[in-house]
Structure formats: C-alpha cells, structure tokens
Chains A and B, each alone.
Chain A
C-alpha cells in the first residue's frame, strides 16, 4: 500500500489560514470516510487532531478543520499561531484491516 501524498512543506504567517492536502485513491481516501489527521512535534508522539474526515476531538481548537472531496482530504488551520508549527500526517483506512499514512507535511509559521 503506497503512502498518501502530502506536500512536504507549507507555511503561513500568524493569523493566516493554511490548508494541507492529502491525496489518495478511490481505494483509500475516496472510498471511506475514515480519514484522520495527526500533529507531531519533534521527538514527541503524534496527537489526534481530526477524525472521520471532519470531526474534532474535545480539546482541539476549532481553528482546525477537515474536509474531503473525491480522493483528496484536507486539513485547514485558520488563525495560525506559532504553536501550530509541527509536522502533520493524514491517515486513512484502506480496507481489510489495513491503514496508511500520508508522507507528512512540515508546517512553518513565519
């Protein structure tokens, strides 16, 4: 199973919005509403930010939102803050008890 495709890096200024894309196929992202997003700081464990494409766990700011169109899922972070600078990974169910991550996107807050 190939990794989902994410941009290697994105950047934005404080207060701006950025969107990170996650492109798969009809066998993964496009085939299931089971896309989640994880935030990871260097040397730390990942943290769940979005699940089931659009849902936000309690405690995650509403500046983070998820969406999906066809085979591409997206994570949008609005009102960028310095603490949002991290790596972000998408994750999708592929069927038959198999999952796949995206390659990861490094977000820089300039």
Chain B
C-alpha cells in the first residue's frame, strides 16, 4: 500500500541543523510532487515546502525560505528536508505528504510525522 515514513527528527539547539528524510513506498515517486507540512504544538497546519516530480522546481514558505532545502532522490524513493539555522519557532511535527499530481495540486497521502524540538 502507499506509505510515507518520516525520520530524522530530534532535539537541537537554536542555530543548529537537522535533516529529515521521507521514505516512500507503494507508488512511483518520480511521478508525484512532494510536500513537507509542519504543525507546532497545539497549533494548525503550515505548508513548508514543495518539490516537483523531477526536482526542477522547489518552493518554500516565507518562514523557512533561505534556511530549509527540500530535495529528492527518485532512485532511492526518498525526499529530504535539510533544516539549517533552526529557531525555537521551528519546533513542530513535520509531515511528508504526497501530491496527487506531478506539478502540485493537493496532498492525498501523509506520513505519520517526525518531531523536531528546538530547545536551548
């Protein structure tokens, strides 16, 4: 079945870095755009980043632009989110989500999330 499994979360100090990974299975990753979405404790969902099916187009929420980088390796069925210069306000559950289409439409499958805590 279609499945997304996130990993790489943890506790980091402000200014530090983390790299999240999303392992995809049960579908052809190279045919779909992919997103990262986060949810701070007790807060709503926030769209974070998108990468097109072939990796040629990437975009980010203003809150993370210049600090986070989304990438993908279709040969390894993985999508990653490199997070640098982390801030306390980046503390959240980070979800990887599959887009229904190749170039971005809506998210039809979500992972269970991985928790990032930025704490001094």
Which residues of A approach B to under 8 Å, CB–CB? 1, 3, 34, 36, 38, 40, 44-48, 51-52, 57, 87, 89, 91, 93, 96-104
Majority SS at the chain A contact face: strand
Q: Kindly state whether residue B112 has any CB partner on chain A within 8 Å.
A: yes
Number of chain B interface residues as a range: 20 to 34
Instruction: Let me know if A46 and B44 touch, CB within 8 A.
Output: no
Chain A residues contacting B106 (CB-CB under 8 Å) are 34, 36, 48, 51-52, 91
Chain A residues contacting B111 (CB-CB under 8 Å) are 45
Instruction: Sort A-B residue pairs by CB-CB distance and give the 7 closest, nearest first.
Output: A104-B44, A97-B59, A36-B106, A45-B110, A101-B45, A99-B47, A51-B106
Which residues between 56 and 97 of chain B lie within 8 Å of chain A, taking CB atoms?
A: 57-59, 61-62, 95
Instruction: Let me know if B50 and A38 touch, CB within 8 A.
Output: no
Whole-angstrom distance from the CB of A5 to the nearest CB of chain B?
12
Whole-angstrom distance from the CB of B95 to the nearest CB of chain A?
6
Chain B residues contacting A103 (CB-CB under 8 Å) are 44
- What string of 1s and 0s marks CB contacts (under 8 Å) between B109-120 and chain A? 011110000000
Whole-angstrom distance from the CB of B21 to the nearest CB of chain A?
17
Q: Kindly state whether residue B25 has any CB partner on chain A within 8 Å.
A: no
A1 vs B104: C-alpha distance in the bound complex, in angstroms? 17
- A46's nearest neighbour on chain B, judged by CB, is B110
Instruction: Let me know if B45 and A46 touch, CB within 8 A.
Output: yes
Q: Which one of B35, B47, B62, B108 contacts A48 once the chains associate, using CB atoms below 8 Å?
A: B108
Instruction: Let me know if B110 and A101 touch, CB within 8 A.
Output: no
